[in-house]
């Protein structure tokens, strides 16, 4: 028998409406409210042993402590599966269900499933990390939603390999896997364009991706005493490429000394970047890595000094995974060496 | 004479189906088998002593053969009329391509191989799981390996190897001149132009990548580096107006073979008069500065508008900043009221969980994906390796079983939509 | 501080201080000019980059060349 804990808000947990939205997390034995339908859908394979309930506002106003308290309660029942919601299109409940599922997976190592309307902000926030069944916007779709969550939850608890989001009914998590289509790309493009022109429904195969945002670094207060470093993805290396930096799909970055170098010469340095014509960079590598100009700035006292090494890699089909790793590793060295500013040149 | 039989922009592709190839005494076609006099071909290609050596080898589908350092692929072709060539300007005089009769060896590709400075080469496996990914795993390949003299410059070597591949293509198709083709495909788009007024007018915006040595695309023999977008008739594309010398990333470059067989042009041409009116091809280069990219995108969209386009399919070549060209052109078209579908491949990381493109616009709401370069594939060991003795970045023998990124396989995520590869979101 | 030609990509991937460069194959060059003139162009870009490093930014910013 699989032990299931069900997470609900104060409304579905039958504590009360908006006036009770501030209630702190609490646990009760056995299923409550939608938990009845959940138990029915789970059948004899699983048992809802407890329900953890938290007020919408309590969770929304203190998401981190609320998550911790909820997780403590859930943990005490030693579940093998956690089901949260469904939250439909409820704007506070959805993110709470998402946060609970994510924490259950990462902190307890237990599978979790929730259900939301695709436009619920909780879906956008958490769909990448959790399994979220697609539901309608309101509780009118309760029975269907709970049944889909039960089916998916049982599969997750059994460690089964899941099929496609369409087949299993969960919101796509943004994991991209190669597959073979019935038609060629060109034929699919023509089909999609005709559908778009006729106002018929079509589904893009690649929703526009979103990227991480980084908080801007504070400005350098006094450049005249600062150490400034040069970093490039332009593939600048010593002539002959002694360390075999790749021309594409780089697996590494390299660090070379600038000591005693006033001006990068094409006789001593070159580019191995496969993505752009190297003719100009090979004539004068300063066109990619402006050592000559920074040496002048150093001499004039405009900057404290130019950092004694430069870092280089090739940004040509290089994976974001590697790029991120290179960036983190380079930053660690620069910070350890007291560098205050970095000029990153890219091609 | 030809003008009467062949109105301007009527093209007959006369196809000779080739099922096998072997070396023999006389170059010719014997019941679907391409026979090649190797020595004659080598001597012809190296008649000016441009190379220190020329090797010609054969690789057939299903053989345990790996071809490495693949640079370009060309289909053997012959132009029947006068002294025209199937690659006007790039080989021989400039004639407008796209009319008359062109003989093609269907099922054969000439693969140019070898090393180039700063270029990571493509891999083609003729058997095993790797063979699922490249269309050149399914062609009979005549593999050329030209080696330069020590003093040959990169510029000279690139020019000579490009010429050699095109000359080999013409040489191999030569014997078909008096022969009757197995079938003929006629492209006569003009004839339908006035018939179906209620069909949507569709333009194809075809980005080329031409950015300097070894990253060049040629239009009628001239590189497209400074090209202001211009209009081509679909037949010109199918008949050799565009030749590649672009070797940047193995999986996502458009070989000459696929310019000749541009899948979007073929698809739109075949649906012309039935589902849509194919109103023309706009070629636009992917430039090296943002200003030029903006100029190119605005001009391409403007030309599509001038052609009366209601819709446009837009393709790219290459990744990174080529995404910017794709996105800018998409946005410009949509702003002019031209509905777009764009085609792109992805760099989503080995696990498929990273952002797939480096540039995006909200207008790009209809995208066909041609696969994730970063997904890993396992290749079987092979018995023979052609084209070189190593694979850049891969330790150990080149004939071993390998696990490599799909991005290393030649034309695997081709951005013209040549294959059935797609991506499913999980 | 990122100096790059295709600033839309820098914006997409999340760079905060961005300075437009000359061209992809020579972000800090201008091969048509004499060596001295070219160096002056490069120095100007570097000066702008250094100025940008001393600017407070609270969102992604392209510093106009």
User: ipTM of this predicted complex?
Assistant: 0.97
- Stretch B357-371: mean pLDDT: 96
What confidence score (pLDDT) does residue A37 get?
96
| Category of B320 on φ-ψ map: left (φ > 0), alpha (ψ -120 to 50) or beta | left
What is the rounded CA–CA span in Å between residue B310 and residue B199? Answer: 10
Angle, vertex CA A281, rays to CA A279 and CA A284, nearest 5 = 110
Q: Do B360 and C12 touch (CB under 8 A)?
A: yes
Round the CA-based radius of gyration of chain A to a whole number and report it. Answer: 28
Contact assignment for C3 to A216 by CB distance below 8 Å: no
Window from A147-156, B401-410, C5-14 with minimum mean pLDDT: C5-14
Does position C65 have pLDDT exceeding 70, yes or no? Answer: no
Of A115, A150, A139, A136, nearest to A44 by C-alpha is A150
For residues A256 and A310, the answer to whether their CB atoms sit within 8 Å is yes
Contact C25 B212 (CB under 8 A): yes
- Number of C-beta neighbours around residue A71 at 10 A: 20
Give the relative orientation of helices A185-197 and B263-271 as an angle to the nearest 10 degrees: 50
The SS3 of residue B29 is: strand
Q: How far is B213 from chain C (nearest CA, A)?
A: 11
| A277/B213 touch (CB, cutoff 8 Å), yes or no | yes
Question: Given a contact as 3+ CB pairs under 8 Å, which chains touch A?
Answer: B, C
**How many whole angstroms separate alpha carbon B277 and alpha carbon B200?**
6
Q: Give CA–CA dist B283/B232, Å, rounded.
A: 7
Whether B190 and B7 have beta carbons less than 8 Å apart is answered as yes
Contact assignment for A276 to C24 by CB distance below 8 Å = yes
Domains of chain A, by residue range, sit at 2-168, 223-345
Least confident stretch, A76-80, B3-7, B131-135, B151-155: B3-7
Question: Angle B323-B327-B332 (CA atoms, 0-180°, nearest 5)?
Answer: 150
> Nearest chain C Cα to A221, which residue?
C54
Angle CA(B57)–CA(B61)–CA(B63) in degrees, nearest 5?
A: 70
Q: CA-to-CA distance for B74 and B412, rounded, in angstroms? A: 16
Residue B128's CB is within 10 A of a number of other CB atoms, namely 18
Judging contacts by C-beta atoms under 8 Å, the chain C residues touching residue B360 are 12
**Rounded Cα gap, residues A97 and A60, in angstroms:** 11
- Rounded to 5 degrees, φ, ψ at A306 are -85, 130
Residue B3 confidence (pLDDT) above 50: no
pLDDT, residue B1, reads 36
Pairing outcome for strands B33-36 and B20-23: parallel
**Nearest chain B residue to C9, by CA:** B359
Number of A/C CB contacts below 8 angstroms equals 112
Q: DSSP class of residue B329?
A: H
What pLDDT tens digit does each residue of chain A (347 aa) get?
999 999 999 999 999 999 999 999 999 999 999 999 999 999 999 999 999 999 999 999 999 999 999 999 999 999 999 999 999 999 999 999 999 999 999 999 999 999 999 989 899 889 889 999 999 999 999 999 999 999 999 999 999 988 889 889 999 898 999 999 999 999 999 999 999 999 999 999 998 887 878 899 999 999 999 999 999 999 999 999 999 999 998 999 999 999 999 999 999 999 999 989 999 999 999 999 999 999 999 999 999 999 999 999 999 988 888 999 999 999 999 999 999 999 999 99
Contact residues, chain B, for C6 at CB < 8 Å: 290, 293, 321, 324, 359
Q: Which residues of C touch A (CB under 8 A)?
A: 1-5, 10, 12-14, 16-17, 21, 24-29, 31, 38-39, 42-43, 45-47, 49-50, 53-61
CB B140 within 8 A of CB B21: yes
Residues on chain C touching A212 (C-beta within 8 angstroms): 14
Is the Cβ pair A193, B249 closer than 8 Å?
A: no
C8: left (phi over 0), alpha (psi -120 to 50) or beta: alpha
Tokens of B2: 């030809």
How many other β-carbons are positioned within 10 Å of the β-carbon of residue B287? 26
Percent of chain B with pLDDT over 90: 90
pLDDT at B192: 56
Peptide bond into A86 cis (omega under 30): yes
C9/chain A closest Cα distance in angstroms: 11
How far is Cα of residue A154 from the mean position of the Cα atoms in its chain? 26
The residues that bridge with B391 in the sheet, in sequence order, are: B394
Is B26 within the bounds of a domain?
A: yes
Rg value, chain B, Cα: 21
What's the fold here for domain A2-168? Rossmann fold (3.40.50)
Residue from the list C6, C13, C25 with its beta carbon closest to the beta carbon of B290:
C6
User: In whole angstroms, what is the distance from residue A188 CA to residue B371 CA?
Assistant: 13
Interface test with B, best of A134, A176, A273, A324 (most B CBs within 10 A): A176
Secondary structure percentages of chain C, helix, strand, coil, to 5: 40, 15, 45
Option in A287, A294, A346 nearest C46 (CB): A294
- Nearest chain A residue to B342 by CA distance is A189
Contact criterion met (CB < 8 Å) for B356 and A251: no
- Which neighbouring-strand residues pair with A306? A228
Angle at B58 between CA B55 and CA B64, to 5 degrees: 120
A84 neighbors A100 (Cβ within 8 angstroms): yes
Q: Chains near B, with 3+ CB pairs < 8 A? A: A, C
Count CB-CB contacts under 10 A for residue C53. Answer: 22
Cβ C24–B289 below 8 Å, yes or no?
A: yes
- Chain C within 8 Å of A193 (Cβ-Cβ)? no
Cβ-based neighbours of B11, under 8 Å, separated by 6 or more? B98, B99, B100, B102, B186, B187, B188, B235, B238, B239
> At B194, is the pLDDT very low, low, confident or very high (cuts 50, 70, 90)?
low
User: Do residues B74 and B141 touch, judged by C-beta distance below 8 A?
Assistant: no
Asked whether residue B191 is domain-assigned, the answer is: yes
CA–CA min distance C49, chain A (Å): 7
Most confidently predicted of A62-66, B186-190, B269-273, B339-343 = B339-343
Please, which contacts does B42-47 make with residues 24 or more away whose CB atoms are closer than 8 Å?
Answer: B44/B167, B44/B171, B45/B144, B45/B146, B45/B164, B45/B167, B45/B168, B45/B171, B46/B146, B46/B164
How far is residue B336's CA from residue B303's CA, in Å, rounded to a whole number?
11
Contact in structure between B424 and B145 (CB atoms under 8 Å): no
CA-closest candidate to residue A82, choices A43, A48, A112: A112
Closest to A293 (Cβ–Cβ): which among C26, C39, C55?
A: C39
* Contact flag C43-A296 (C-beta cutoff 8 Å): yes
- Residue B2 has a pLDDT of 42
Phi then psi for residue B267, to 5 deg, are -65, -50
User: A327: phi > 0 → left, psi -120 to 50 → alpha, else beta; which?
Assistant: alpha
Is the CB of A196 less than 8 angstroms away from the CB of B339? yes
Helix (H) or strand (E) holding A37: helix A34-42
To the nearest whole Å, the CA of A207 is away from the closest chain C CA by 15
Look at strands B242-246 and A305-312 and give their pairing: unpaired
Contact B258, B240 (CB under 8 A): no
Using the beta-carbon criterion (under 8 Å), do A297 and C50 form an inter-chain contact?
Answer: yes
Q: How many domains does chain C have?
A: 1
Are C50 and A302 an interchain contact pair (Cβ–Cβ within 8 Å)? yes
Least confident of A99-103, B3-7, B55-59: B3-7
Nearest to A209 among B360, B405, B416 (CB): B360
Provide mean pLDDT across the span B196-213. 92
Best residue of B118, B289, B319 to probe chain C, by most C CBs closer than 10 Å: B289
Q: Which domain holds residue C31?
A: 2-62
State the Cα–Cα distance between residues B18 and B302, nearest whole angstrom: 43
Residue C26: which of A211, A218, A287 has the nearest Cβ?
A: A287
For residue B246, the chain A residue with the least C-alpha distance is: A275
Report the candidate in A100, A160, A179, A91 with the shortest Cα–Cα distance to residue A132. A100
Of A139, A193, A137, A135, residue with least CA distance to A169: A135
A272 touches chain C (CB under 8 A): no
Query: What gap in Å lies between CA B371 and CA A265, rounded to an integer?
Result: 41
Q: How confident is the model at residue B8 (pLDDT cuts 50, 70, 90)?
A: confident
Range of the domain at B328: 2-408
Distance CA A159, CA B328 (A): 45
Which helix (H) or strand (E) segment holds residue B260: the answer is helix B256-260
Q: Quick one: which of B192, B238, B225 has its CA closest to B100?
A: B238
Cross-chain Cβ contact B289/C13 below 8 Å: no
- Per-residue pLDDT, A320: 85
Q: Count structural domains, chain B.
A: 1
- Lookup: tokens for B240: 């050799």
Chain-chain contact of C24 with B321 (C-beta, under 8 angstroms): yes
CA-based radius of gyration for chain C: 12
- Band (pLDDT 50/70/90 cuts) for residue B416 is very high
User: Do A190 and B200 lie within an 8 Å CB cutoff?
Assistant: no
Among B115, B261, B171, B112, CA closest to B124? B112
Q: Is B420 within the bounds of a domain?
A: no
B212 vs A321: CB contact, 8 Å cut-off? no
Output the CA–CA distances (angstroms, integers) from residue A238 to A310, A312, B217, in the order listed: 11, 11, 30
**Chain C environment of A215 (Cβ under 8 Å):** 16
B108 close to B76: Cβ distance less than 8 angstroms: yes
């Amino acid at each position: 028998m699989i032990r299931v804990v069900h997470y609900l808000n104060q409304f579905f947990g039958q504590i009360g409406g908006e006036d009770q939205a501030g209630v702190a997390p609490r646990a009760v034995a056995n299923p409550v409210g939608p938990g009845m339908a959940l138990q029915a859908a789970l059948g004899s394979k699983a048992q809802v042993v407890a329900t953890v309930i938290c007020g919408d506002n309590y969770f929304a106003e203190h998401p981190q402590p609320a998550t911790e308290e909820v997780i403590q309660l859930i943990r005490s029942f030693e579940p093998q599966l956690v089901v949260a919601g469904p939250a439909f299109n409820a704007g506070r409940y959805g993110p709470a269900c998402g946060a609970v599922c994510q924490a259950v997976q990462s902190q307890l190592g237990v599978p979790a499933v929730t259900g939301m309307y695709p436009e619920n902000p909780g879906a956008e926030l958490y769909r990448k990390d959790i399994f979220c069944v697609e539901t309608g916007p309101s509780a009118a779709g309760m029975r269907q939603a709970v049944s889909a969550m039960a089916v998916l939850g049982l599969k997750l608890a059994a460690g089964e390999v899941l099929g496609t989001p369409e087949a299993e009914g969960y919101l796509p998590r943004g994991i991209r896997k190669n597959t073979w289509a019935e038609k060629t790309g060109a034929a699919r493009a023509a089909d999609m364009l005709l559908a778009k022109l006729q106002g018929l429904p079509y589904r893009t195969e690649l929703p526009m991706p979103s990227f991480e945002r980084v908080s801007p670094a504070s400005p350098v207060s006094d450049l005249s005493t600062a150490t400034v470093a040069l970093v490039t993805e332009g593939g600048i290396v010593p002539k002959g490429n002694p360390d075999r930096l790749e021309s594409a799909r780089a697996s590494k970055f390299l660090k070379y000394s600038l000591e005693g170098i006033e001006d990068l010469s094409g006789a001593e340095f070159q580019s191995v970047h496969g993505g752009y014509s190297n003719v100009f960079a090979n004539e004068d590598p300063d066109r990619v890595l402006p050592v000559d100009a920074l040496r002048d700035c150093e001499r004039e006292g405009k900057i404290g000094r130019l950092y004694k090494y430069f870092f280089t890699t090739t940004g040509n089909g290089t994976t974001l995974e590697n790029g991120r790793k290179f960036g983190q590793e380079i930053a660690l060295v620069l910070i350890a060496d007291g560098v205050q500013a970095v000029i990153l040149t890219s091609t | 004479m030809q003008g009467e039989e062949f109105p301007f922009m009527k093209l007959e592709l006369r196809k000779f189906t080739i099922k096998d190839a072997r070396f023999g005494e006389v170059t010719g076609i014997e019941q679907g088998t391409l026979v090649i006099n190797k020595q004659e071909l080598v001597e012809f290609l190296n008649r000016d002593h441009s190379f220190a050596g020329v090797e010609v080898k054969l690789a057939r589908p299903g053989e345990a053969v790996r071809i490495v350092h693949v640079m370009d692929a060309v289909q053997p072709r012959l132009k029947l009329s006068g002294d025209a060539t199937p690659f006007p300007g790039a080989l021989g005089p400039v004639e407008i391509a796209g009319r008359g009769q062109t003989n093609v060896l269907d099922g054969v590709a000439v693969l140019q191989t070898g090393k180039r400075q700063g270029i990571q080469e493509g891999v083609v496996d003729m058997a095993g799981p790797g063979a699922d990914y490249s269309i050149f795993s399914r062609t009979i390949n005549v593999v050329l390996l030209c080696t330069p003299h020590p003093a040959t410059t990169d510029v000279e070597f690139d020019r000579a190897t490009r010429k050699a591949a095109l000359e080999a293509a013409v040489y191999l198709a030569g014997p078909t001149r008096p022969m009757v083709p197995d079938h003929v495909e006629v492209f006569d788009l003009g004839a339908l132009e006035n018939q179906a007024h209620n069909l949507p007018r569709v333009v194809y915006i075809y980005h080329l990548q031409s950015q300097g040595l070894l990253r060049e695309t040629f239009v009628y023999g001239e590189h497209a580096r400074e090209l202001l977008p211009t209009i081509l008739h679909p037949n010109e594309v199918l008949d050799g107006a565009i030749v590649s010398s672009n070797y940047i990333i193995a999986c996502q470059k458009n070989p000459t073979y696929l310019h000749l067989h541009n899948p979007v042009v073929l698809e739109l041409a075949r649906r012309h008069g039935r589902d849509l009116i194919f109103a023309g091809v706009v070629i636009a280069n992917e430039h090296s500065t943002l200003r030029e990219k903006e100029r190119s995108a605005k001009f391409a969209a403007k030309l599509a508008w001038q052609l009366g386009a209601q819709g446009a399919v837009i393709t790219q070549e290459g990744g990174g900043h080529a995404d910017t060209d794709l996105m800018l052109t998409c946005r410009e078209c949509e702003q002019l009221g031209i509905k777009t579908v764009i085609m792109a491949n992805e760099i989503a990381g080995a696990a498929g969980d990273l952002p797939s493109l480096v540039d995006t616009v909200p207008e790009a709401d209809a995208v066909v994906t041609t696969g994730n370069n970063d997904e890993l594939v396992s290749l079987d060991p092979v018995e023979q390796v052609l084209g070189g003795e190593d694979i850049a970045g891969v330790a150990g023998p080149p004939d071993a079983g390998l696990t490599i990124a799909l991005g290393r396989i030649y034309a695997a995520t081709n951005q013209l939509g040549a294959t059935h590869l797609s991506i499913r979101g999980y | 501080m990122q100096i790059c030609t295709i600033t839309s990509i820098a914006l997409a991937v999340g760079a905060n201080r961005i300075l437009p460069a000359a061209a992809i194959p020579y972000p800090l060059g201008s091969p048509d000019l004499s060596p001295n003139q070219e160096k002056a162009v490069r120095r100007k870009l570097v000066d702008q980059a250094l100025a940008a490093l001393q600017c407070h930014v609270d969102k992604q910013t392209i510093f106009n060349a």
